[in-house]
A and B are shown apart, each in its own frame.
Chain A
């Protein structure tokens, strides 16, 4: 693969990672809304299903944050390499 070809493929990779990151950021906002709604509605319940649901939501939010961070690292690293290729 020539340098030009490699750069074209890297650009596509960066584009996909950026799309993914935007989608994750949108989901983070939506998930936060859902957590607020569920937590407000269920605040006086200690039912097992409620506890499990809220625990899953918290864990999901955590994974979403990690995903977003990894995607940022992806974009930054690939962009830096792309610049180095000239």
Chain B
């Protein structure tokens, strides 16, 4: 490796990929949880081992996907911290001001940061999609596959009609309250999967801002 700049560029590229993987994994976790709810609903009153297995396995899959997403996010955080150490100010780091804190407090802060990051990401993704409203063609192109995949799930009343218990029907309340059910569900699904790249950009923005804030608080 010839220069620090080159190392930093490659590491930032790795962070971007890992962040993207974390976001996709969180989306996969939601899907696994959704499948679990369907199996719980369909499995009421049956002791068939295959149905019980589907219920248990889908729940475990959701839990493991959640763990994988957290680990990926942590991996990206550590690389960011390392970038900040080898090239202060060059990386999207956020830990520089917290090194002296007690471990427990730091862990809590990191967890809160991660939560905030995902919450902001969701808000910004929704904003991104809202901004695109005038240019839905582009977005539809991007999401055509997802639309067909989810179309049968978002027909208002569909799940309720077949299941008979709207409380257990994950997409139903959303769909029935929306003028554009497909778009509505896409906001949720696309938020995690389709616009991951935009999300990664936003995460980097947030990290940059946080880094600046840390520097300011260090200076003060």
Residues of B within 8 A of A59 (CB): 71
| CB <8 Å contact, A19 and B149 | yes
Binds A, one of B42-50, B121-129, B135-143, B211-219: B42-50
| CB <8 Å contact, A47 and B7 | no
Residues of B within 8 A of A52 (CB): 74, 78
| CB <8 Å contact, B68 and A49 | no
| CB <8 Å contact, B35 and A13 | yes
Residues of B within 8 A of A26 (CB): 24
Q: What's the Cα separation between A10 and B24 when bound, in Å?
A: 24
| CB <8 Å contact, A16 and B35 | yes
| CB <8 Å contact, A34 and B17 | yes
| CB <8 Å contact, A63 and B67 | yes
Residues of A within 8 A of B35 (CB): 12-17, 20, 74
| CB <8 Å contact, B10 and A37 | yes
Residues of B within 8 A of A17 (CB): 31-32, 35, 58, 61
- B179 close to A (CB within 8 Å): no
Binds A, one of B79-87, B101-109, B112-120, B201-209: B79-87
Of the candidates B25, B27, B71, which one forms a contact with A56 in the assembled complex, judged by CB atoms under 8 Å apart?
B71
A contact patch SS? helix
Q: What's the Cα separation between A20 and B51 when bound, in Å?
A: 18
Which of B68, B153, B164: most chain A CB closer than 10 A? B68
Query: What 0/1 pattern do residues 44 to 71 of B give for CB contact below 8 A with A?
Result: 1000101101100110110011011001
Q: What's the Cα separation between A6 and B41 when bound, in Å?
A: 8
| CB <8 Å contact, B58 and A13 | yes
Min Cβ gap B188→A in Å is 13
- B28 close to A (CB within 8 Å): yes
Query: What 0/1 pattern do residues 63 to 74 of A give for CB contact below 8 A with B?
Result: 110110011011
**In the complex, residue of chain A having the shortest beta-carbon distance to the beta carbon of B189:** A19
Of the candidates A37, A53, A80, which one forms a contact with B75 in the assembled complex, judged by CB atoms under 8 Å apart?
A53
| CB <8 Å contact, A27 and B85 | no
Min Cβ gap B163→A in Å is 6
Min Cβ gap B56→A in Å is 9
Residues of B within 8 A of A9 (CB): 38, 41-42, 162-163
A interface residue numbers (CB < 8 A to B): 1, 5-10, 12-17, 19-21, 23-24, 26-27, 30-31, 33-34, 37-38, 40-42, 45, 47, 49-50, 52-54, 56-57, 59-60, 63-64, 66-67, 70-71, 73-74, 77-78, 80-81, 84
Pick 17 A–B contacts, CB within 8 A, sort by A: A1-B44, A10-B42, A17-B32, A24-B25, A27-B24, A30-B24, A31-B17, A38-B14, A40-B10, A49-B78, A56-B72, A63-B67, A63-B68, A71-B57, A74-B39, A74-B54, A81-B54
